[in-house]
Amino acid sequence: MNRMTGFASDTGGFRPFPQRIAIVTDAWLPQINGVVRTLTTTCAILRARGHEVEVISPDLFRSIPCPTYPDIRLAIMAPGAVGRRLSEIAPDAIHIATEGPLGLAARGHCVTHAIPFTSAYHTQFPDYVAHRTGLPPSLFWRYIRWFHAPARKVLVATESIREELRGHGLTRLHHWSRGVDLACFHPAAPEPPEFAGLPRPIQLYVGRVAVEKNLEPFLGGTYPGSRVVVGDGPALASLAARFPDAHFLGRRSGAALAGCYANADVFVFPSRTDTFGLVMIEALACGTPVAGFPVPGPRDIVTDRVGALSDDLDRAIAAALFSDRADCAALGAAYSWDAATDQFLAGLAALEVEPLAA
């Protein structure tokens, strides 16, 4: 039987919520990306609140490197292995975070046994795969529609993505935003030594260095100053060779990452395939304006007060430099991981209170 307790909702009354939550994800540590950071932070907050969270991730199985992206490991499991783990966990709710092999196996188990589950749309999966295969995104939208259709709720981060998924026939959607660790990301973070003496303005990118992040328009731009890249990925060597004037600092985290954000003049987000862009709100919390393309993700976050969007990235950078850094920090500080976790739980709480079949 499910073990349900409850909490007082914002609208009054008593609402049930699950105590034992199973999260199935193909993206997990040691990967470093927005999906992993979102899931690990959410798990930590849920556990701090007293929830039991069990994560089914690639590190529990044999795995192979993802073709064209060896940092991502794809789990190889025996038929039924994920279903057996879910049955052993006996969760009150199941959340399937990704559309990879583990997510696919969990979906199959839930559909076969009529177990309710939620899913999430973290990445523009059709565009991501299209970049790596050369095939049209429309082919992969068929898979996305099929994968998420049985979910009781599909968790999405922005209104732009909600509209896009509705256009593809997915209508049971639930808002799940993101947050910033304000104890770490703030305008007073110390300057990294690598910034000393760099020509201003310093234009910063943080994230995976991979083809789907569309770094060429940034690195090949003509706006004066210095271009700095923080992150790692399969395209690092080739981009460093093609753009020798750019500064590639590798991976950073914690205070070292915050210092890069806080001491840059503008944060540049050239991706056209992200559903949110956690790095944008971290940069804003550090007082740094954002420049990007007018696509889902940036257009849901960046206003004229905190940055600029344009199909001409150099023009966006030039305009963003006039933003008020205090306004940037104020907007970044409005994103709370506690509030985002409340939204995650509210999506799970919408499930019927019923036993989960083995």
- List the domains of the chain with CATH numbers: 4-179+337-349 (3.40.50.2000), 193-333 (3.40.50.2000)
pLDDT string in tens for the chain (358-residue length): 344 344 334 434 334 466 899 999 999 998 888 899 999 999 999 999 999 999 999 999 988 877 766 777 788 888 999 999 999 999 999 999 999 999 999 999 999 999 999 999 987 766 766 666 677 777 889 999 999 999 999 999 999 999 999 999 999 999 999 999 999 999 999 999 999 999 999 999 999 999 889 999 999 999 999 999 999 999 999 999 999 999 999 999 999 999 999 999 999 999 998 889 999 999 999 999 999 999 999 999 999 999 999 999 999 999 999 999 999 999 999 999 999 999 999 999 655 544 444 4
- Give this prediction's pTM: 0.86
Q: Are 48 and 337 in contact (CB under 8 A)?
A: no
Cα–Cα distance between 42 and 36 in angstroms, integer?
A: 10
Question: Which two tokens mark 175?
Answer: 């808002």
Pairing of strands 69-76, 62-66: antiparallel
d(CA 31, CA 191): 26
Q: Which amino acid is at 250?
A: G
Helix, coil or strand: residue 167: helix
